[in-house]
């Protein structure tokens, strides 16, 4: 690989990432996607992901941010009336950025340390897919009245930790597939094989959707008992996704 497609601390990659981060700041400021602290966190995290990984990885992460903002604003007034919104206007804070992007950032760091971006992109993608699936399920599923508790299968209130709905499950699948599709594009741009890319993207999509179920299970069993917080549940589910992809790839980085 050469030029723009060379990962890591190469001048072309650094320039491309810097341009993307500038665009991120402009869009976030104009459309209130992130608050000021969130923008700073996104710049730091984006620098780690882009400079140590690749600018296409940053594109995947921005795909998550943009799509998550859209589903957050979807029927926002209804969610606000029911007390299902995390902020008054739909913006995301630095805590949301770190909770959903911190572990993908760590995946980029380990990819750089092992000089293995070919496998690293799929670890990174699995992490983002779990975060996206969970966000889509929460933001869309909370307005579905057909909510049941994952551990008992009994009807429960919308928005309750561990609850799931048909629309939420479909949304989780869409979110996970979207990240898998973005990663396939990045893989093909870097010169990866189409067949291998489709296989790995399918694995990412499955892991993303299953990771959402892990999140719900931990929410029902531990978060509802005060043993975990929303942030630690998210981190645990994303860690699970990374671990599953790590095992599938048969890596030995540690």
Question: Domain for residue 83, yes or no?
Answer: yes
Count of domains forming the chain: 1
Range of the domain at 148: 3-249
CB atoms within 10 A of CB 2: 7
* Within-domain flag for 173: yes
Average pLDDT of the chain is: 91
| 3-state class percentages of the chain: helix first, strand second, coil last, to nearest 5 | 75, 5, 25
Q: Which of 1-5, 31-35, 188-192 has the lowest mean pLDDT?
A: 1-5
Q: Does residue 91 lie within any of the structural domains?
A: yes
- Is 254 within the bounds of a domain? no
Tokens of 15: 């320039």
Close Cβ partners of 107 (under 8 Å, ≥ 6 residues apart):
120, 123, 124, 127, 242
Residue 64 lies in a domain: yes
The residue to which tokens 């700073």 are assigned = 40
> What contacts 197, CB < 8 A, 6 or more positions away?
184, 187, 188
Give me the pLDDT at residue 32, please.
78
Query: pLDDT tens digits for 33-72?
Result: 888 888 899 899 999 999 999 999 999 998 998 898 899 8
Average confidence (pLDDT) over 193-202: 96
| The pLDDT of residue 109 | 96
Side-chain-facing half-sphere of 214: CA atoms under 13 Å: 24
- Phi (first) and psi of residue 218, to 5 degrees: -65, -35
Question: What is the tens place of the pLDDT at every residue in 144-175?
Answer: 889 999 999 999 887 788 999 999 999 999 99
Residue pair 165/140 in contact (Cβ under 8 Å)? The answer is no
**Residue 157 pLDDT:** 84
Higher-confidence position of 45 and 100: 45
Residue 104 inside a domain? The answer is yes
Lowest mean pLDDT among 83-97, 127-141, 144-158: 83-97
Whether the model clears a pTM of 0.75, i.e. scores above it, the answer is yes
Residue 117 lies in a domain: yes
Q: Tens digit of pLDDT for each residue in 109-133?
A: 999 999 999 999 999 999 999 999 9
């Amino acid at each position: 690989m050469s030029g723009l497609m060379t990962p890591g601390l190469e001048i072309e990659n650094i320039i491309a990432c810097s341009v993307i981060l500038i665009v991120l700041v402009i869009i976030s400021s104009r459309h209130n996607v992130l608050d000021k602290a969130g923008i700073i966190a996104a710049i730091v995290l984006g620098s780690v992901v882009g400079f140590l990984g690749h600018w296409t990885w940053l594109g995947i992460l921005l795909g998550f941010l943009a799509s998550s903002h859209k589903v957050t604003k979807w029927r926002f007034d209804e969610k606000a009336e029911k007390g299902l919104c995390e902020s008054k206007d739909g913006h995301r804070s630095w805590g949301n950025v770190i909770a959903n992007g911190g572990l993908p950032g760590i995946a980029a760091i380990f990819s750089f340390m092992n000089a293995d971006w070919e496998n690293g992109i799929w670890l990174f993608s699995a992490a983002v897919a779990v975060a996206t699936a969970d966000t889509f399920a929460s933001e869309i599923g909370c307005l579905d009245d057909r909510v049941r508790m994952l551990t008992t299968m009994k009807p429960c209130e919308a928005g309750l930790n561990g609850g799931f709905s048909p629309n939420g499950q479909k949304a989780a699948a869409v979110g996970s597939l979207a990240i898998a599709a973005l990663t396939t594009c990045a893989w093909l741009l870097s010169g990866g094989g189409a067949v291998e890319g489709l296989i790995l993207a399918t694995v990412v999509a499955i892991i993303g959707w299953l990771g959402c179920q892990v999140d719900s299970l931990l929410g029902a069993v531990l978060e509802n008992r005060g043993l975990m917080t929303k942030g630690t549940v998210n981190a645990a589910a994303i860690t699970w996704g990374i671990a599953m992809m790590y095992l599938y790839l048969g890596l030995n980085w540690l």
